[in-house]
Structure 1
């Protein structure tokens, strides 16, 4: 018999499948974008390890800036302006490099060549969105439990009629008025309070 997945499991399944898709697209886009940038750097005179490492500095700048912004978001701190500027600079650089690589084949070629960079940056930011949504929410600070203030008159009544309460006898309103020198309404409230102090043989309130 098939059992329906709980909402929590469905949400987790969506998150993990989305993360897997984003990572897959990001890997493909990163490889293509790297090849375009490598070809561009090589075409402008660089070679060897320099040509291989320069494209990594662009993607690395995007990664480092995004990590700083993610850390600030998880800590509830303001986003550093430098991280925002460097992220924008890295995105601009990778788009420019890929577009320039395909510019020799016309505007359409530039758009096609720039697309992997767009997919890489977009996939990476989607992945960061998933990570941010999984950030632990701080536990709310518990509010102190409200404790009602004790009415001094009730304390006085409990002391004055302690013998009656212990014997299970509820004082009359008249007796409370005379003993405590209060009016009818307050005497009735005190009587209600005293009735809660009287216990039955089974230990419960009267």
Structure 2
């Protein structure tokens, strides 16, 4: 435990020393480039904050499996600004006679840092949630029921007597007619609630406009139902 705390303390001390030196070099370069007063102190804060923010956002995007190319670009820009200031103040540059190009770079840094910080603030933080599946726009009750198969009654056809060459054919015995059983009416098929409401609405509309009750067959035809559904329509009128 003590060894771990010692390693952490050493890292913190090293980070504080390196940050203080970089801060001082950036301040000296900004002051030499004509940015005096509080502005010279704001430049190192801007560079270091952009560097740290770009590093943290790049790590977050890498953990989330996202592309971090844009964030890595801003990290390299801030690193180049910090490293360039440290190298420039190492005696390679005459701080009393700063070139005009360096003055332009230092003066334009606030706009670059502001733009980079704005893009980092609006960068995605994590994986996007999957889109919810689109629900079906039509309910099951809206579908028209399939018409029940209707049995077609076959008409009885009487047999025609065959023609004979004998001009006076023998009379055939007449058979007593056999009573054909009348098929029972098909039971009324229950309608879905949506069709029941539609049937009643049409019936009420017909009653209010004509003053007479609606004909089940007419209501069935307006709904586009087969003839076999007439008893079901009449059951709800």
TM-score range for the pair, normalised by the shorter chain length: 0.3 to 0.5
Q: Which protein shows a greater Rg?
A: 2
TM-score of the aligned structures, taking structure 1 as reference length? 0.41
Higher relative contact order at CA 8 Å, sep ≥6: structure 1 or structure 2?
Answer: 1
Q: Which has the higher helix share?
A: 1
